């Protein structure tokens, strides 16, 4: 979790990106196929860095459903910043 538990719409805790990076390195070291999921504060400003750090699954609630141009635009904004 990359926010304090409790409610939606919270700001992302930036130190979480390094936690993802460290978790990916540990999983890779032991040959684990486990997926890393990030839930909380994910939006277009941090999604690309999270994927680059090793996240496999991003959970974005407010960034999608609260997007000014609608949920589809929220998804497109996040996808646009993620490496292929």
Q: How many domains does the chain have?
A: 1
60 domain-assigned: yes
38 domain-assigned: yes
72 domain-assigned: yes
- What is the reported pLDDT for 84? 72
Cβ-in-10-Å burial (0-12, 13-18, 19+) of 2 comes to buried
47 domain-assigned: yes
Q: Write out the DSSP string of 9-43.
A: SPPP-THHHHHHHHHHHHHHHHT-----EEESS--
Global pTM reads: 0.89
- What is the reported pLDDT for 54? 97
43 domain-assigned: yes
Could you tell me which residues come within 8 angstroms of residue 18 by beta carbon, excluding any fewer than 6 positions away? 53
Residue 72 domain boundaries:
33-81
pLDDT truncated to tens, each residue of the chain (84 aa)? 788 887 788 889 999 999 999 999 999 999 999 999 999 999 999 999 999 999 999 999 999 999 999 999 999 999 999 987
9 domain-assigned: no
State how far the Cα of 64 lies from the Cα of 11, in Å rounded to an integer: 14
């Amino acid at each position: 979790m990359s926010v304090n538990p409790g409610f939606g719409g919270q700001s992302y805790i930036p130190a979480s990106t390094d936690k993802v990076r460290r978790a990916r390195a540990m999983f890779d070291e032991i040959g684990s196929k486990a997926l890393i999921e990030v839930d909380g504060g994910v939006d277009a400003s941090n999604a690309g860095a999270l994927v680059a750090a090793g996240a496999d699954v991003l959970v974005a609630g407010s960034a999608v459903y609260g997007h000014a141009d609608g949920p589809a635009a929220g998804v497109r904004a996040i996808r646009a910043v993620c490496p292929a």
